[in-house]
A and B are shown apart, each in its own frame.
Chain A
Amino acid sequence: MSVTILMPVYNGAAFLARSLKSISGQSYGDWRVVIGDDGSTDDSLAVIERSGLPRLTLRRNPRNIGWAQTVNLLLAEVDTAEFLGTVTAMLDRTPASLLAVTAARAVHPSRPDAVWGLHQGFSVEKGSTCPSPVAVSLLLPTDPIRCPAVLARSELYRRYSFDESLPYACDWLMWLRAAAMASVEVSAEVLANFQLHEASQTTGFIRANLTTIDMLRMVEVLRTEWADGREPVKDAIGKLTVGITNEILADAGLKIEAGDLAGAEVQLRFARAIALSVRQSVLSLAGHRAVGLLRLPLMASLRTPITQLGRRLW
Chain B
Amino acid sequence: MSQVTVLVPNYNGAAYLRECLESIRAQTFEDWEVVVGDNASTDASLSIVAALADRRIRTVRRPRTIGWVANVNLLMAEASTPYIAILHADDWWEPAFLETTVSMLQAAPRSLVATGAGRIVRTGRPAELTGLFQAWAVSQGSTCPAGEVARLLTPRNLIPSATVLTRAELYRRFPRYEPALSLLGDWLMWLRAGGVADFEVTNQVLANYRVHAANQSAFAEANNLWAMDVLRVGLILQAEWAGTASPYPGATRAIAAAVANDLIERAALRLERGDQATARRLARLAWAMAPTAGQRTLARIGELGIRLFGGGPLARLREPLSGMARRVKPAVERSLM
A: which residues have CB within 8 A of B?
Answer: 61-66, 68-69, 72-73, 75-77, 161, 164-167, 205-206, 209-210, 212-214, 216-217, 220-221, 223-224, 266, 269-270, 272-274
Our pick among B62, B179, B228 for the contact of A167 (Cβ within 8 Å) is B179
Q: CB-CB < 8 A to B70: which residues of A?
A: 65-66, 69, 72-73, 164
Which residues of chain B come closer than 8 Å to A165, judged between CB atoms?
A: 67, 180-182, 225, 228-229
Of the 9-residue stretches B14-22, B97-105, B160-168, B232-240, which lies at the interface with chain A? Answer: B232-240
Q: Is the CB of B287 within 8 A of A69?
A: no
By CB atoms of chain B within 10 A, which of A75, A164, A212, A224 has the most?
A164
Given A66-B70, A73-B70, 16 other A-B contacts at CB below 8 A?
Answer: A62-B74, A69-B67, A72-B64, A72-B67, A73-B64, A76-B63, A161-B64, A206-B240, A210-B236, A214-B180, A216-B231, A216-B285, A269-B287, A273-B284, A273-B285, A273-B287
How far in angstroms is the closest Cβ of chain B from A167? 5
CB pair B77–A220 under 8 Å, yes or no, is no
Do A269 and B288 touch (CB < 8 A)? yes
In angstroms, how far is the closest chain A Cβ from the Cβ of B293? 12
Please, how many angstroms separate the alpha-carbon atoms of A164 and B78 in the complex?
Answer: 22
- The answer, yes or no, to whether B176 is at the interface (CB within 8 Å) is yes
Q: Which residue in B179, B181, B222 is a CB contact (below 8 Å) of A69?
A: B179
Name A217's contact: one of B176, B228, B239 (CB within 8 Å): B228
Residue B175 at the A interface, CB < 8 A? yes
Q: Distance in Å from the Cβ of A311 to the closest Cβ of chain B?
A: 24
Given A63-B77, A224-B223: A167 touches B176 (CB 8 Å cut-off): no
Which of B175, B232, B288 is A63 in contact with, Cβ under 8 Å? B175
CA distance A207 to B222 in the complex (A): 27
B308 at the interface (CB under 8 A from A): no
Contacts of B228 in A (CB 8 A): 165, 213, 216-217, 220
Residues of B within 8 A of A77 (CB): 63
**A270 contacts across to B, CB distance below 8 A:** 285, 288
Show 6 residue pairs from A and B whose CB-CB distance is below 8 angstroms, ordered by the A residue.
Answer: A64-B73, A72-B66, A73-B62, A76-B64, A164-B182, A217-B228
Q: Which residue of A lies closest to B303 (CB)?
A: A273
- Of the candidates A76, A220, A274, the one whose C-beta lies within 8 Å of that of B223 is A220
What is the total number of residues of chain B having a CB less than 8 Å from a CB of chain A? Answer: 38
Complex CA–CA separation, A73 to B179 (angstroms):
14
Residues on B facing A (Cβ under 8 Å): 40, 62-67, 69-70, 73-74, 76-78, 175-176, 179-182, 222-225, 227-229, 231-232, 235-236, 239-240, 281, 284-285, 287-288
Q: In the complex, which residues of chain B have a beta carbon less than 8 angstroms from the beta carbon of A166?
A: 180
List 7 tightest A-B contacts by C-beta distance, closest first.
Answer: A62-B77, A76-B63, A76-B64, A66-B179, A69-B70, A164-B67, A273-B288
Enumerate chain B residues within 8 angstroms of A269, measured Cβ to Cβ: 287-288
B235 in contact with A210 (CB, 8 Å): yes
Q: Please determine whether A164 and B232 come into contact, CB atoms closer than 8 angstroms.
A: no
B180 in contact with A65 (CB, 8 Å): no
* Cα-based distance from A274 to B78 in the complex (angstroms): 43
Q: Who on chain B is nearest to A71 by CB?
A: B66
Q: Which residue of A lies closest to B67 (CB)?
A: A164
Closest residue of A by beta carbon distance from B183? A165
Q: Is the CB of A213 within 8 A of B235?
A: yes
A65 vs B227: C-alpha distance when bound (angstroms): 23
A167/B63 in contact, CB under 8 A = no
* In contact, B222 and A64 (Cβ under 8 angstroms): no
Given A164-B70, A224-B222, A73-B235 contact (CB < 8 Å): no
A217 to B284, CA, bound (A): 15
In the docked arrangement, what's the CA distance between A164 and B66, Å?
8
Complex: chain B residue closest to A167, CB-CB: B180
B69 adjacent to A164 (CB under 8 Å) = yes
> Min CB distance, A285 to chain B, in Å?
13
- CB-CB < 8 A to B284: which residues of A? 273-274
- Shortest beta-carbon distance from A154 to chain B in Å: 12
**Chain A residues with Cβ under 8 A from B175's Cβ?**
63-64
A-side contacts of B74, CB under 8 Å: 61-63, 65
Task: Give Cα A164–Cα B74 distance, bound, in whole angstroms.
Answer: 14
Nearest Cβ in chain A — how far from B180, in angstroms? Answer: 5
